[in-house]
Amino acid sequence: MKSLIDIQELSTAEIDKLIEIANDIILNPSKYSEKCKGKKLATLFYEPSTRTRLSFEAAMYELGGNVLGFASSDNSSASKGESVADTVRVVSDYVDIIAIRHPKEGAPLVASMHSLVPIINAGDGGHNHPTQTLADLLTIKREKGTFDNLTIGMCGDLKFGRTVHSLIGAMSRYQNVKFVLISPEELKIPSYIKQEILDEKNIDYVETRSLEEAIPDLDILYMTRVQRERFFNEDDYLRLKDTYILNEKKIIKAKSDLSILHPLPRVNEIAVEIDNDPRACYFKQTLNGKYIRMALILKLLGVE
Ligand code: CP
């Protein structure tokens, strides 16, 4: 039994295979419509979600399987004090695979130690979000045709943004990738990401506060929301939340083939006037999330 807790657990060949299957699902959805007949997915979400939970559920239904679970810890026995370990041990008797989101870093790893079935990390605190990264990778591959030779701007909350941490980890394995890390001082990328990934792999990166100065060089601009739920102090959030707002004026100097990504939800950081720009990829990204999660469910269940 294999789980997916961190994107780094997947080899480059495994990522390529998942992307190949997701692309085949997009072309031939009916071929996959009964692949998980008789199988059940549990979605155990201790933290709010729209895309991740519903795309996991849609993914399982489109594979012919069934879904059960909870969308809030208030609706589960966690509200009575039950541990993640006990909850997962019990639920793993009822289902074939579990996707879990939790505000505490490491909770999905703990879950994987107590589960009888594969666990998928659907986001743990400010740590990791591997299936969002798979959706990002599928989107980059479909938009750019390659992962190599790309200059990637990561903009916004690089401190708490778990999707940023996972995507840097995943993209650092490809050739001649450069990162431009755009954030206010208070929301800079954690030093462990710099030391354990960027420095360790000798990746070219710069840190800057200025989106305007960075934008002309970028092939991909990955915007992120300031993660209100991870702040200890509301005043700090209010001061930082609108540091970056991407609008038509700001992308005048961008490349004509820039791809604008955002894991969503967005608050103010991308003006709605950008939505109709052909470079906006964030709604394609959410749809890609469903297809790549279908591919991942097939892989972890060992379905050919
Ligand atoms: N991108 C993402 O994780 O969105 P949700 O919080 O809506 O699942």
Q: How far is the CA of 138 from the centre of ligand 1 (A)?
A: 16
User: What's the whole-number mean pLDDT along residues 96-104?
Assistant: 97
Q: DSSP H helical segments within 174-229, as ranges?
A: 191-193, 211-214
pLDDT tens digits for 261-296? 999 999 999 999 999 999 999 999 999 999 999 999
Please provide the distance, in angstroms rounded to a whole number, between the alpha carbons at the two ends of the chain.
15
Checking if the pLDDT of 179 tops 70, the result is yes
Checking if the pLDDT of 127 tops 90, the result is no
Show the ligand 1 pocket: residues with CB < 6 angstroms: 49-52, 123, 132, 263-265
Catalytic positions are 51-52, 80, 101, 129
% pLDDT > 70, the chain: 100
* 130-144 and 51-62 helices, crossing angle to 10°: 80
Q: Report pLDDT for 117.
A: 98
Which residue minimizes the CA distance to atom 6 of ligand 1?
49
pLDDT range class, residue 1, cuts 50, 70, 90: low
Cα 273–Cα 149–Cα 290 angle in degrees, nearest 5: 55
Residues 263, 136 contacting (CB under 8 angstroms): yes
- On average, the pLDDT of the chain sits at 95
From the CA of 54, give the closest atom in ligand 1. Answer: 8
Checking if the pLDDT of 230 tops 80, the result is no
Which residue minimizes the CA distance to atom 4 of ligand 1?
51
pLDDT range class, residue 8, cuts 50, 70, 90: very high
Reported pTM? 0.95
pLDDT tens digits for 19-66? 999 999 999 999 999 999 999 999 999 999 999 999 999 999 999 999
User: What's the whole-number mean pLDDT along residues 196-200?
Assistant: 95
